[in-house]
Amino acid sequence: MKILHNARCSTSRNVLSTLEENGIEAEVVKYADEKLSFDELKSIIDLIGIEPIELVRKKETIWKEQFAGKELSQDEVIQAMIDIPQLMERPIIIKGNQAIIGRPIERVVEFIR
């Protein structure tokens, strides 16, 4: 199991704790420090089964200032999340060929069973 983790995010920290409490050792990827490649992020989006725009934190000020209202291709949205990792919803939990956005915590508990 792998978790795309942002230590500054309380939800991400809570999910990591939940994994540990359930005896799950997950590979922790600090995606804000170790940027994902385009192909890695595209693959994760495919595993979640969503469109790239659905992974964007649209309430972030930087999204509103730089991207809101613009017609962006899927590739441009992915690249924006790579360039500015804070735009990406987190945490993301990957298990085999499945992945979820780890919100709310109940979704994570169900996913790890």
Q: Known catalytic residues?
A: 9
Distance, in Å, from the CA atom of 106 to the CA atom of 89, rounded to the nearest integer, reads 16
| DSSP β-ladder status, 98-101 and 27-29 | unpaired
Angstrom CA distances, 78 to 56, 60, 82, 104, stand at 9, 16, 6, 23
- Kind and range of the H or E run holding 38: helix 38-48
Give CA angle at 88 (86, 90), nearest 5°: 100
